[in-house]
Structure formats: structure tokens, C-alpha cells
């Protein structure tokens, strides 16, 4: 029985049903009365009001701020290995996160690591149950805030330098009610599809002859819809909803000398429509399996090389993400220091961090690029502040940071980038980070320039990275001769690809941007160009080579 | 399974440039747990979680060397088992590939550990117990019927579980409650290079009600009630479970108002249930075979075989073949243990004299063979564990007489009261050499029984202290009705279902101290739903 045929003939509609929200009426700003039609919001507002009015421990101060956030997480996952499914799991839960602050905006009880109490909340809309979970967590959070406040006041007395910014920013309250997304999944169909993809190493005629070399072959699919209700004592009421869908494939083998070789890829999007059609996904998976044979035959990289390296837009974006995403956010610095913020760009405000021709902007309102959905897009952050587009790097200089409601010196207001992982505390994070160069070159122009650099410096060969793995380890690395011929090599790791290289080692950048969607603590997107680097180190990783299997595969 | 096992067993370790490098396994086993679960949870009167799952996991056991000395010796016991998730369909190629991957990993692990074991054997001092690392047993063959997938009427049970949680709305000081229903249907597949082939089903349905309150002085108080049966239809009717849940609510309201206890040293009665928990913790764990061997272990009973360890009217057996005690289903039942050995009744203590230990395939100085008690949670190495611990007595009196004896004892000892422990929770059993030989069980409901005839008084904050050997020898008499405790037991080889059965017991002396207190205050605002003056517990859902 030809399973592939069955998959293709199954109606696409069965796999791709997604009921999208009707846009909420933007004509009139919604009010609290509108919000209270939602039983969850009504319960949250009732308990919030009660707490703000009545919650007080005798002889201690009342809270000056309370925030409730409930996340409804509907998640389906399925994984398969070696051509058979390991099953699918469907979970549905609601998690409430409660924040209570005592003190005032200038100096309050908040700690650096994100305070808040958690409770599971009712799945049906039972108001007493919802309120009870909130009540229990509010009580806990209030008592913890009182203790934290006292401790913080004591700590302040220990340092000479006072804090250089208020503890909490003042923001305009908003009311925004988006409709919750729903999804309908044919779970069995996805389990089958993923099982089929994981078995291609032995079913597809292009690669089945090398099936005994494959040590693992895994495919997975996940679909998640999160609806968030957020209310705070300043009057903000938000209901928002988003989806995240991912299909992944990974395959691995060992070279004759034991070196582990791995390839993986996937698609990530905000709706089922964004997931690659099955045929395309499987073709690319087969390409990856086939590349393992090439990698097994490829020679080891030379011991050490310093010189020009061309990073494809894929590899370039990975590199830029790694170097920038932690640095462009502003978080509260250590108490008693003169520092503005933390991280590699802590003291780089107005300083040059990239070549003059490069610009970096974070714009969460960018929902698509080049026909692809961007998972990092959002309208309102997880502190109830609308997202703003932020010009981070202008002509190479850092002019801004991404920030939430925790001010730092010279940045007293949030720019709507306070984002939280599920059930987690909000902290500043990128949304859609776009990196561009004014005079970007085409791929051909970049390749030519690379060769020119080789000739100019009298180098026999230079390097091209097509795709990167974790920790600066290329997955597909090519040695490029002065004649332009490319040879696949293995076993390398890159070095000296750091902030300094970004600042003064970028010879040229590409014109086309690669779309990198990632589901980390929060979904983020980076759009980045290819990078032609002046002086990067390529050397042997010298990892311990595991023994080959002790007995052959069946 | 057996195809891959046989292939692995014949191929592994046969390649190597010289004879020295060839290290084939002398034993290989596959233990596959094919389990389907359903979980329904409610809190504060509403559903918070409802999932079902089907998962298959393989534990591969590889042993290198010889039964006399292998890779699991001493502290390397963990190297015995390598675990991997498997496909849930019966695709032969995929299953074989996965098992190959797991076996390869297991062999690598075993080889690494075996080489270390050999080195250590040369370097360390002679061990107290130099029994072999693996016992000789005959292969077992039993192909039972696989368990069906766990399926329940989700909607009905979501409603029932939520309703049980809602019972607590009548008790406004019970500020935290959880009700969890778990149905687990598992089929265990076992194959070994010795020729064993076993298919054994195991079904269990369990409903746990847990509730907490806090006294005004900050002391946290909790109670729990569990219901177990083989399948969901065997659980009690809703009305009965709601009635039991109400009792928990009432109990907690009473407990938070009860006076604090004082330290006490005097006679006490443990209810049947409390005695069952007590015997499980204090005695049961110390009779596990592997605890009698190894430099880290306290070995309380190791040298006591043949000696009197309990009063002569008490006997203790562990019998996993028992499925019921009276009308109560027993959690600790199984047909084959997790090493493929047939479960059997073991008479641990006969008329007070220690006769036996709970044995897995790890031999000890006094016992060379398994007695079908090698148990583990999936992913862990099996060790000797309890199943259904049954305590019996030939010195039984009625409840009324036991109570009279308590009062008499108290009077004789010059005390104004004796204690009655109605319910206790298990703490943990510390059996290692490096900690003092103390045990900890948590008394939940304790009464003072006064000598002068005053009504019994509920007290809170009681914590039992003392050393186990001494406590056991002080049992004077028992009641004539046994009670069952069904639960989950956690130890080195993971969490497994167990039970313990015991009559009420009178101890001449038990030592208690005041429990250390929490310092958190009770919640400041009244619980939602109680502040409006409607009838407590009336359903006022705005649906």
C-alpha cells in the first residue's frame, strides 16, 4: 500500500482547518463594560478590585500595583522516529501569574529575577474557582512583596550610588479585546505525516541504500494556541491570542572516524498555512539525509585558518541573532553600580557597534516578510503596553534599547517589549529584529568578493558557511579555492566571531534577508543578511569522537 | 523484541582485534512498558487539567563480566539499565531500530562501568559482603493478555472530579484543595537472554483528594484521602466519595482550632491505617535485600536473621499475589516483578523472628536468590521493594479493650493521658549509615485519651521521633480488625504502587515532640464565595 499516495490525496482542508479570529471592532475603543462580558475577565476584575481595596496586612502598607495574567495554553505535539510514531500528546491548561507590588513607582518591591505567584486556573469559566486561584496567589505575592520591599530598603542603605532610574514606569492604561483563536487539528493525520517523514531514510529510493548508516531519524510536529487575559490595577485590560506551529526533522550519522554528523531543519509559523506542504518538507528532508553521505565522505577541515569567511544569509542571521539579541535589551543593573544596564552593549549607548552602513530595527508590527509569516510579531506586550517599532542601530551606532516597564538611565518609558514566556515573568526581548546594510550585495557579488580577497592576500583557499549549528559549529562548511571551486569539509568550529568582528570585521553584507523564526522562551524572528567577514578563525573542533555502534544496525 | 535481543546477544562484543578486547554481555534483557494513562484534575471546585497519553518505554539491561562480578557492582548499580522511548505502533523495523539504538547505548554504558569496576576491585579494601552481583534463576514463560487502552467517559469524570473539589466550598478555611483521578493501564513485556518471555498486564485507577489549611499561628495542616481499584468502575460511588471528602473538610476545620501539643513520652495507640503506614516506613524499607549490603547502608537487620525483632505475637509477610484484603483491592499486587521473576509470598517475620528479606536478583550474604520482589519504576534499576505488606497478630483484643489498656498503661506510667494516632502520612525512611537511624512519619490526626475519663481531645503539631528498633519492640497488643493503606512508595528504584495491612496497635512508649512551625500567616482576605452571605457550598456559577 502506497502511503505517500494516501497522504497526498487526503484533503488538504482536513489538515489545514484553522478558524481565524474576526477582527475586533477597532472603530470604538472597548470599555471595561465590554470586557466584563468575558467571564474570565469579569472574575479577574472582581478579585483585582477586592484586593486593591481590602488587601492589607495590619500595620503594613497596601499594594500600589496588582497585575493578573492568565494564559490558556492548548498544545498538541507528536514525535516519530525510524518511521513509526511515539504517539501524540494533547494538553490544555490555564496558568495564572500574579504580581503584587508595594512601595511606589520610584522605589518598589520588585526584584531583578521576576516576582510573581503561579496557580493553575479553571478551564471552564467558573468565576469562584478562577477568583480562588487568584486570591490564593495574590495573598502569597503580597506577603512576598512586603518581605522583598523591606529587604530592598535595607540593601539600598548599603550602597553609595542610588538607583539611576525609577523601579517601575508609568504607562497609559489600554483596553484591547482580541477574539481568542481556535484550532482544529486532525491529530491522527499529523501523527501519520510525521511518522512517514521519520522513515524516509529507509523508504525513499534516493537514500534507502545508505539506511544502515543512519543512527537517528526523528520528525516532530507541534501546534500551540495561547490566549492571554491581562488586567492590572491601573485600568489596563487586554485579551490577546496567538498560535505557533512547528514541523521539524533531524537526522544523524557517524563518520568512519566516529565524528557525529547531524542535519536538521523545520518550518515555524503562526498558522497551519505556514507549515510547508508535505511534499516539499519530505524532499528537503531527503536532501538532508543524502547530505550525510556527502559529509561522511568529506575530509576533515585543516587544523587552523585565519582569514576571510563568507556567511550565507542563513548563517549570517544565526550569528547576528547570537550576538545582538542579548545586547539590545535593557535590564536593571546591579544595585549600587553606575552601569546603565547589563550585557555586552551595557555601555555602548551612542557608540558604534556595527559598520556605518548597517541598520537594526525591531518592529513587532511586521507580520510577514517575503511571503513568510513572522512569529515574533505581536501587538501588545505581556505587561499590557502596545509594541513600538524601535530604531536600535542607526548608521552603525546603538541609539536605543528594547525595554519593558523596568526603566534604566535615560529610558524612563517602556517601548512595548516586555515579553514573557508561558507562565514566566516579563523581561525585555526582541520581537522582529531586522538587520540591513545600505549597499547590500547579491550572493554572486559576495562570492566574487570573497575570491578577490583570497587573491589579494595570496591565500590558497578561503571558507564559505552555508548553514550553522549550535555554538558556532557549521553544519555545511565549504573550502573555496582561488578558482572558485567549493569542497565540503567537516569537523570545524568558528572562533573570533564576536562583537569586535561585528564592529570592524564586516567587509560586506548581503542584500537579501533570510527569515529566521524561532520558538525560544518567546517566539522571535530575526531577518538578516549574508556577511562577508574579514578575519574569522576556522579550526578543528577536536571533539571526542564517540565509538561507532558496537554492533551493526538491523 | 526477541529477534533484536537474540541478534544483539550474539553480535555484541564479538569483534575486537585480540581476545582481550572481546567483551560480550553475559546477560541481556528488554523490559518494555506499554502504558496508557488518563489524568483528570480539579482545584478550587473546577477542572484544571484533563489529559490522556499512550507511551512505550524500553529499559535495556546489559551485564558484562560474570555473575560473580559485573558492571553493576557496588555504586555502579545504575549502569544496569538504559532507557529509550519507543514507537507505539507495531512497525517491526522501527521497533528493531529503536531497540538497537537503546542496546548500543546500554552496552556502551555497561562497558564503561565494567572497566571501572574491575579497576576498583583491585584497589579497594575487602568488602564485608562479597556475594555475587547477579543470582542464578530459571527462565519464566507467561504470555498474559495485554491490557486494553485506558478509556473513560471523560465528560462524566470531569464533572465528578470537579464536584468533589467543590465540596470544599462549604469549608472556607480550606484554602487549597486538589482532586486528581489517574487511570493507568500498562502491559509489561519482558524478554531475556536466559530465555524468559513474559507478557503481564497491570491496571490501576486511583483518585486522590488533598486539602490544606493553616492555623492562626502559621502551622500548615493537610489531609488526604485516596480511593483505589483495578478499573475505574471499581471506584466507590460518587455519594460515598463526597461524604469522605466532607469529612476531610470538617477534620481540617477542627484541626486548625485544636490546641498545640506538648512533647510527650508515653503509651499510644496507632489505628490500623496508621500502623500500616508505620510498618511500611519503619520495617518494610529496612527489610529490602539490597539494604543489607553495601558500605553506604545502615544494615539494621542484616545480622538479625533467626533472632527476635518483634514481639512473638506478630508476623509480617509480603504477598504480591494477593489481590484483595476483604473487600479492599490491594495496590501492591503484581504477577511478575520487574526482573521477570514470579511474584510470591515471602514470610519476612514469623512469630517475631526474622526469617527473610525482600529479594531482587542481587544476592546478599544470607540469601542467594530472588524471591520475586525486584521492582522499579520505568527507567530505574530494580531493587528489592515491598508489594503488599501484611502484618498479623495472635494477641488481639477488641477496640474497646485496646483503649482500656491504653488508659491503664498511662495510669501506670503516671501520665495524665495516652495518645491515639488516627491518621499518619509517610515521611521518609533514612536507612543509610551516614545519617542517624531516625525515621519520620507525619501524624495528621492525633487525640489525647485522658485517664480521668474526659472526652478525647484533638491536638495538633505532633511529630514522632525515636529509633526504629526500639519502637517496634514496644508493641504490647493489637486490635482485632485490620485496615488497608494503599499508596505510592518512592525509593531509589523509583515510585511504585504498594499497600500495607495492619491491625491497630498499642505501644507502651512512643516519643513525640512539637512539629516545627511554618511562619506564614493564614490568608488575609476571606476565600471568594464565602464573603457573600449565601449558603456555603451553594452553586452560584454564572454560566
Answer yes or no: do A123 and B50 touch at CB < 8 A. Answer: yes
Answer whether A92 touches B (CB < 8 Å). Answer: yes
DSSP run (H or E) holding B448: strand B439-450
Do residues B385 and B492 lie in contact, with contact meaning Cβ atoms separated by under 8 Å? no
Which 349-408 residues of chain B touch chain A by CB within 8 A?
Answer: none
State whether A215 and B169 contact (CB < 8 Å): no
Mutate to test the interface with B, among A49, A53, A123, A141 (most CBs of B within 10 A): A123
Assess whether pLDDT exceeds 70 at residue B13: no
Beta pairing partners, A436: A359
Strands (E), B230-377: 264-270, 314-318, 324-325, 328-329, 346-350, 353-354, 374-375
What local confidence, expressed as pLDDT, does residue B467 receive?
72
Any A CB within 8 A of B532 CB: no
Q: What is the dihedral angle through the alpha carbons of A57, A60, A64, A69, rounded to the nearest 10 degrees?
A: -40
Q: Is B519 helix (H, G, I), strand (E, B) or coil?
A: coil
Question: B357-369: per-residue pLDDT in tens?
Answer: 999 999 998 899 9
For A32-49, what is the mean pLDDT? 97
Q: Is the pLDDT of residue B18 over 60?
A: no
pLDDT grade for B530, boundaries at 50, 70 and 90: confident
Is B540 in the A-facing interface, judged by CB distances under 8 Å?
A: yes
Q: Rg (Cα) of chain B, in Å, rounded?
A: 26
pLDDT tens for each residue of B184-193: 999 999 999 9
Query: Rounded to an integer, what distance in angstroms lies between the CA atom of residue B19 and that of residue B31?
Result: 31
For residue A113, the model assigns a pLDDT of 64
Mean local confidence (pLDDT), A469-477: 93
B538 touches chain A (CB under 8 A): no
Residue A11 has pLDDT above 70, yes or no: no
Pick A129's closest partner by Cβ from B8, B45, B91: B45
Contact B43 A90 (CB under 8 A): no
Residues A116-128 pLDDT 10s: 899 999 998 999 9
Contact yes or no for B529 and A126 at CB 8 A: no
Residue A135: exposed, middle, or buried by beta-carbon count in 10 A (0-12, 13-18, 19+)?
A: buried
Is B541 an 8 Å CB contact of chain A? yes
* pLDDT higher than 50, residue A281: yes
- CB contact under 8 Å between B93 and A202, yes or no, is yes
Complex ipTM: 0.87
> Could you tell me the pLDDT band of residue A90, with boundaries at 50, 70 and 90?
very high
- Chain B touched by A53 (CB under 8 Å): no
Residue that has been written with the C-alpha cell 525482600 in this structure: B358
Say how far apart CA B255 and CA B444 lie, in whole Å: 9
Of B53, B89, B528, the CB nearest to A135: B528
Beta bridge partners of B201: B187
Burial class (CB in 10 A: 0-12, 13-18, 19+), A13: exposed
pLDDT-derived band at B90, boundaries 50, 70, 90? confident
**Which residue in this structure is represented by grid cell 552603525?**
A396
Q: How far apart are CA B373 and CA B340, in angstroms?
A: 10
The more confident residue out of B293 and B54 is B54
Question: How close, in Å, is residue A547 to chain B by CA atoms?
Answer: 9
CB of B214 less than 8 A from some CB of A: no
Closest residue in chain A to residue B3, using alpha carbons only: A554
Nearest Cα residue to B119 out of B81, B75, B161: B75
Q: Which of residues 459-518 of B touch A (CB under 8 A)?
A: none
**For residue A393, what are the CA distances in angstroms to A355, A360, A413, A511, B527?**
10, 5, 19, 18, 51
- Segment A422-443 shows an average pLDDT of 96
Secondary structure element (H or E) that encloses residue B189, with its range:
strand B176-192
pLDDT at B10: 66
Q: Are strands B417-429 and B264-270 parallel, antiparallel or unpaired?
A: parallel
Residue A359's pLDDT is 98
Contact B86, B57 (CB under 8 A): yes
In this prediction, residue B416 carries a pLDDT of 96
% of chain B residues with pLDDT over 90: 69
Residue A8: per-residue pLDDT: 42
Distance between A341 CA and the closest CA of chain B, angstroms:
35
Angle separating helix axes B154-166 and B238-257, nearest 10 degrees:
30
Q: Flag if A55 and B524 touch (Cβ within 8 Å).
A: yes
Distance CA B358, CA B67 (A): 20
- Tell me what the mean pLDDT of segment B436-441 comes to: 54
DSSP B91: -
- Who has greater pLDDT, A546 or B223? B223
| Interface membership of A252 toward B (CB under 8 Å) | no
pLDDT of residue B191: 92
| Test mutation, B25, B44, B527, chain A, max A CBs within 10 A | B44
Best to test chain B binding among A86, A203, A547 (most B CBs inside 10 Å): A86
Contact A89 B56 (CB under 8 A): no
Count of CB contacts below 8 A, A vs B?
A: 151
Averaged pLDDT, B204-230: 94
Mean model confidence pLDDT for chain A? 92
Residues 140-159 of A with CB under 8 A from B: 142-143
C-alpha distances (whole Å) from A507 to each of A307, A394, A450, A533 are 12, 18, 9, 5
Q: With a cut of 70, say whether residue A428 has pLDDT above it.
A: yes
Q: Per the CB < 8 Å rule, is A84 touching B524?
A: no
Higher-confidence position of B521 and A266: A266
Assess A126–B contact: CB distance below 8 Å, yes or no: yes
Q: Is B154 an 8 Å CB contact of chain A? A: no
Asked if B89 lies within 8 A of A195 by C-beta distance, the reply is: yes
Asked if A91 is an interface residue toward chain B (Cβ–Cβ < 8 A), one would say yes
Task: Give A554's contacts in chain B (Cβ within 8 Å).
Answer: 4, 7, 93, 96-97, 100
Using a CB-CB cut-off of 8 Å, the residues of chain A touching B4 are: 554
Q: Please state the rounded mean pLDDT for residues B13-36.
A: 73
How confident is the model over B234-272, as pLDDT tens digits? Answer: 999 999 999 999 999 999 999 999 999 899 999 999 999
Q: SS3 helix, strand, coil % of chain A, rounded to 5?
A: 25, 35, 40
Higher pLDDT, B432 or B348: B348
Query: Is residue B119 pLDDT above 70, yes or no?
Result: yes
Quickly count: other Cβ atoms within 10 Å of residue B145's Cβ: 9
Q: Mean pLDDT throughout A509-530? A: 97
What b/e sequence results for B205-239 when a residue is b if at least 16 CB atoms lie within 10 Å of its CB, and e otherwise? bbbbbbbbbbbeeebebbbebbbbbbebeebeeee
Chain B contact for A62 (CB, 8 A cutoff): no
pLDDT at A115: 78
Collapsing DSSP to helix, strand or coil, B28 comes out as strand
CB contact under 8 A, A120 and B48: yes
Describe chain B by its helix, strand, coil percentages, rounded to 5. Answer: 25, 40, 35
**pLDDT number for residue A430:** 98
Residues in chain A closer than 8 A to B520 (CB atoms): 143
Whether A423 and chain B come into contact, CB under 8 Å, resolves to no
Instruction: Give residues 25 to 84 of B whose Cβ lies within 8 Å of A.
Output: 41, 43-56
pLDDT of res. B14: 52
Residue B532 banded pLDDT, cuts 50, 70, 90: low
Strands (E), A18-122: 63-81, 84-102, 117-121
Give the residue with greater pLDDT, B99 vs A178: A178
Q: What is the pTM of this model?
A: 0.90
Q: Which residue has the higher pLDDT, A163 or B409?
A: B409
Contacts of A387 (CB under 8 A, 6+ apart): A364, A365, A378, A379, A380, A381, A415, A416, A417, A431
When CB atoms are compared, the residue of A129, A199, A553 closest to B46 is: A129
**How much is the pLDDT for A9?**
39
Give every CB contact of residue B428 below 8 A, 6+ residues apart in sequence.
B281, B439, B440
Question: SS3 of A286, please?
Answer: helix
- What are A440-464's pLDDT values in tens digits? 999 999 999 999 999 999 999 999 9
Tell whether the model's pLDDT for residue A284 goes beyond 60. yes
Separation of alpha carbons A217 and A338, rounded Å:
52
Instruction: Kindly identify which residue of chain B lies nearest to residue A50, measuring between CA atoms.
Output: B525
The residue with greater pLDDT, A138 or B20, is: A138
Q: How far apart are CA A268 and CA B180, in angstroms?
A: 35
Nearest CA to CA, how far is A132 from chain B (Å)? Answer: 6
Asked if A120 lies within 8 A of B49 by C-beta distance, the reply is: yes
Give the tens place of pLDDT for each residue, A179-191. Answer: 999 888 999 999 9
Cβ distance B98 to A82 less than 8 Å, yes or no, reads yes
Percent of chain A past pLDDT 70, that is, above it, reads 95
Q: Give percent above pLDDT 70 in chain B.
A: 90
pLDDT over 60 (residue B56): yes
Question: A507 CA to chain B: closest CA distance, Å?
Answer: 46
State whether residue B216 sits within 8 Å of chain A by CB. Answer: no
Cβ of residue A95 closer than 8 Å to a chain B Cβ:
no
Judging contacts by C-beta atoms under 8 Å, the chain B residues touching residue A200 are none
Question: Is the CB of residue B210 less than 8 Å away from at least one CB of chain A?
Answer: no
Compute the nearest-CA separation of B331 from chain A (Å): 27
Q: The cell 562548511 sits on which residue?
A: A477
Report the length, in residues, of chain B. Answer: 543
The answer to whether B428 contacts chain A (CB < 8 Å) is: no
Choose the closest CB to B55 out of A87, A125, A199.
A87
Pairing type for strands B314-318 and B346-350 reads antiparallel
Residue whose C-alpha is closest to residue B389's, from B441, B444, B322, B301: B322
Q: Span B325-352, mean pLDDT?
A: 96
Out of A122, A125, A216, the one facing B48 most closely (by C-beta) is A122
Show the beta-strand stretches assigned E in B238-345: 264-270, 314-318, 324-325, 328-329
Residue A5 has pLDDT above 90, yes or no: no
Amino acid at each position: 500500500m502506497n502511503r505517500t499516495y494516501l497522504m497526498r490525496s487526503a484533503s488538504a482542508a482536513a489538515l489545514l482547518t484553522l478558524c481565524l479570529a474576526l477582527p475586533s471592532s477597532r472603530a470604538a475603543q472597548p470599555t471595561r463594560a465590554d470586557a466584563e462580558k468575558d467571564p474570565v475577565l469579569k472574575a479577574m476584575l472582581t478579585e483585582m478590585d477586592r484586593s486593591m481595596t481590602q488587601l492589607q496586612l495590619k500595620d503594613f502598607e497596601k499594594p500600589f500595583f496588582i497585575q493578573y495574567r492568565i494564559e490558556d495554553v492548548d498544545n498538541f505535539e507528536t514525535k516519530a522516529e525510524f518511521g513509526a510514531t511515539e504517539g501524540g500528546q494533547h494538553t490544555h491548561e490555564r496558568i495564572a501569574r500574579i504580581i503584587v507590588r508595594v512601595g511606589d513607582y520610584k522605589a518598589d518591591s520588585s526584584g531583578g529575577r521576576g516576582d510573581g505567584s503561579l496557580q493553575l486556573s479553571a478551564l471552564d469559566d467558573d468565576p469562584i474557582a478562577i477568583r480562588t486561584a487568584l486570591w490564593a496567589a495574590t495573598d502569597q505575592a503580597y506577603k512576598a512583596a512586603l518581605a522583598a520591599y523591606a529587604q530592598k530598603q535595607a540593601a539600598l542603605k548599603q550602597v553609595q550610588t542610588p538607583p539611576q532610574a525609577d523601579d517601575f514606569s508609568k504607562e497609559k492604561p489600554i483596553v484591547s479585546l482580541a477574539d481568542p483563536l481556535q484550532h482544529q487539528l486532525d491529530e491522527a493525520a499529523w501523527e501519520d505525516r510525521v511518522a512517514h517523514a521519520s522513515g524516509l531514510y529507509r523508504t525513499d529510493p534516493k537514500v534507502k541504500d545508505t539506511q544502515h548508516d543512519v543512527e537517528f531519524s526523528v520528525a516532530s510536529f507541534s501546534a500551540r494556541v495561547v490566549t492571554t487575559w491581562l488586567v492590572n490595577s491601573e485600568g489596563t485590560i487586554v485579551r490577546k491570542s496567538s498560535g505557533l506551529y512547528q514541523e521539524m526533522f533531524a537526522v544523524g550519522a557517524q563518520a568512519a572516524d566516529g565524528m557525529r554528523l547531524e542535519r536538521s531543519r523545520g518550518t515555524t509559523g503562526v498558522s497551519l498555512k505556514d507549515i510547508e506542504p508535505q511534499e516539499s518538507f519530505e524532499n528537503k528532508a531527503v536532501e538532508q539525509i543524502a547530505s550525510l553521505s556527502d559529509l561522511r565522505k568529506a575530509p576533515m577541515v585543516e587544523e587552523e585558518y585565519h582569514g576571510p569567511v563568507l556567511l550565507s544569509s542563513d548563517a549570517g542571521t544565526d550569528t547576528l541573532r547570537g550576538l545582538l539579541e542579548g545586547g539590545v535589551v535593557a535590564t536593571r543593573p546591579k544595585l549600587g553600580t553606575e552601569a546603565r544596564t547589563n550585557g555586552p552593549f551595557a555601555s555602548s549607548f551612542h557608540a558604534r557597534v556595527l559598520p556605518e552602513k548597517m541598520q537594526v530595527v525591531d518592529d513587532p508590527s511586521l507580520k510577514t516578510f517575503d511571503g513568510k509569516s513572522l512569529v515574533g510579531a505581536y501587538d501588545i506586550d505581556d505587561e499590557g503596553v502596545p509594541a513600538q517599532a524601535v530604531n536600535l542601530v542607526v548608521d552603525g551606532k546603538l541609539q536605543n534599547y528594547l525595554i519593558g516597564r523596568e526603566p534604566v538611565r535615560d529610558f524612563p518609558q517602556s517601548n512595548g517589549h516586555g515579553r514573557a514566556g508561558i507562565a514566566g515573568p516579563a523581561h525585555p526581548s526582541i520581537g522582529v529584529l531586522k538587520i540591513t546594510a545600505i549597499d547590500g550585495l547579491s550572493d554572486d557579488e559576495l562570492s566574487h568578493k570573497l575570491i578577490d580577497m583570497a587573491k589579494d592576500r595570496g591565500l590558497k583557499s578561503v571558507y564559505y558557511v552555508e548553514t550553522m549549528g549550535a555554538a558556532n559549529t557549521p553544519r555545511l562548511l565549504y573550502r573555496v579555492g582561488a578558482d572558485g571551486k567549493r569542497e565540503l569539509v567537516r569537523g570545524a568550529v568558528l572562533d573570533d566571531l564576536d562583537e569586535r568582528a561585528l564592529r570592524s570585521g564586516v567587509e560586506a553584507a548581503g542584500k537579501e534577508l533570510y527569515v529566521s523564526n524561532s520558538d525560544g522562551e518567546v517566539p522571535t524572528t530575526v531577518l538578516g543578511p549574508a556577511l562577508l567577514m574579514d578575519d574569522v578563525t576556522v579550526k578543528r573542533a577536536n571533539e571526542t569522537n564517540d565509538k561507532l555502534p558496537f554492533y551493526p544496525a538491523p | 523484541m526477541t529477534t533484536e535481543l537474540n541478534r544483539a546477544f550474539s553480535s555484541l562484543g564479538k569483534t575486537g582485534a585480540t581476545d582481550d578486547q572481546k567483551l560480550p554481555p553475559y546477560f541481556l534483557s528488554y523490559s518494555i512498558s506499554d502504558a496508557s494513562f488518563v489524568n483528570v484534575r480539579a482545584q478550587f471546585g473546577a477542572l484544571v487539567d484533563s489529559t490522556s497519553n499512550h507511551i512505550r518505554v524500553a529499559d535495556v539491561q546489559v551485564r558484562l563480566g560474570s555473575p560473580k562480578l559485573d558492571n553493576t557492582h557496588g555504586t555502579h548499580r545504575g549502569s544496569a539499565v538504559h532507557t529509550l522511548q519507543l514507537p507505539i505502533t507495531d512497525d517491526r523495523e522501527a521497533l528493531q531500530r529503536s531497540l538497537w539504538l537503546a542496546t548500543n547505548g546500554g552496552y556502551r554504558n555497561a562497558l564503561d562501568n565494567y572497566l571501572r569496576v574491575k579497576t576498583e576491585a583491585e584497589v579497594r579494601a575487602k568488602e564485608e559482603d562479597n556475594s555475587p552481583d547477579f543470582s542464578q534463576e530459571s527462565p519464566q514463560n507467561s504470555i498474559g493478555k495485554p491490557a486494553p487502552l485506558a478509556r473513560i467517559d471523560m465528560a462524566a469524570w470531569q464533572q465528578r472530579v470537579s464536584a468533589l473539589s467543590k465540596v470544599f466550598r462549604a469549608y472556607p478555611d480550606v484554602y487549597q484543595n486538589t482532586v486528581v483521578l489517574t487511570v493507568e493501564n500498562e502491559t509489561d513485556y519482558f524478554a531475556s537472554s536466559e530465555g524468559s518471555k513474559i507478557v503481564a498486564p497491570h491496571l490501576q485507577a486511583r483518585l486522590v483528594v488533598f486539602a490544606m489549611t493553616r492555623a492562626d499561628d502559621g502551622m500548615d495542616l493537610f489531609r488526604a484521602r485516596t480511593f483505589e481499584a483495578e478499573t475505574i468502575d471499581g471506584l466507590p460511588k460518587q455519594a460515598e466519595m463526597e461524604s469522605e471528602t466532607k469529612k476531610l473538610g470538617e477534620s481540617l476545620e477542627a484541626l486548625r482550632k485544636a490546641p498545640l501539643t506538648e512533647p510527650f513520652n508515653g503509651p499510644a495507640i496507632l489505628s490500623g491505617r496508621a500502623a500500616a503506614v508505620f510498618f511500611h516506613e519503619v520495617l518494610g524499607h529496612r527489610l529490602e535485600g539490597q539494604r543489607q549490603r553495601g558500605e553506604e547502608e545502615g544494615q539494621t537487620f542484616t545480622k538479625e536473621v533467626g533472632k527476635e525483632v518483634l514481639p512473638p505475637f506478630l508476623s509480617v509477610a509480603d504477598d504480591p499475589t494477593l489481590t484483595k484484603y476483604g473487600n479492599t483491592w490491594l495496590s501492591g499486587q503484581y504477577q511478575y516483578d520487574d526482573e521477570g521473576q514470579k511474584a510470591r509470598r515471602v514470610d519476612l517475620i514469623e512469630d517475631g523472628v526474622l526469617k527473610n528479606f525482600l529479594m531482587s536478583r542481587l544476592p546478599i550474604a544470607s540469601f542467594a536468590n530472588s524471591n520475586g520482589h525486584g521492582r522499579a519504576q520505568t527507567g530505574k534499576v530494580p531493587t528489592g521493594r515491598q508489594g503488599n505488606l501484611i502484618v498479623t497478630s495472635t494477641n488481639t483484643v477488641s477496640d474497646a479493650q485496646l483503649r482500656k489498656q491504653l488508659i491503664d498503661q498511662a495510669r501506670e506510667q503516671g501520665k495524665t493521658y495516652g495518645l491515639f494516632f488516627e491518621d499518619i502520612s509517610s515521611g521518609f525512611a533514612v536507612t543509610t549509615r551516614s545519617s542517624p537511624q531516625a525515621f519520620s512519619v507525619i501524624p495528621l490526626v492525633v487525640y489525647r485519651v485522658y485517664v480521668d475519663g474526659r472526652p478525647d481531645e484533638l491536638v495538633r503539631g505532633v511529630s514522632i521521633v525515636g529509633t526504629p528498633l526500639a519502637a517496634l519492640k514496644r508493641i504490647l497488643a493489637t486490635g482485632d480488625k485490620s485496615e488497608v493503606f494503599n499508596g505510592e512508595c518512592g525509593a531509589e528504584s523509583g515510585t511504585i504502587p504498594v499497600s500495607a495491612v495492619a491491625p491497630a496497635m498499642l505501644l507502651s512508649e512512643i516519643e513525640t515532640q512539637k512539629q516545627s512551625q511554618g511562619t506564614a500567616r493564614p490568608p488575609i482576605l476571606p476565600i471568594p464565595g464565602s464573603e457573600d452571605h449565601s449558603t456555603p457550598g451553594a452553586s452560584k456559577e454564572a454560566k
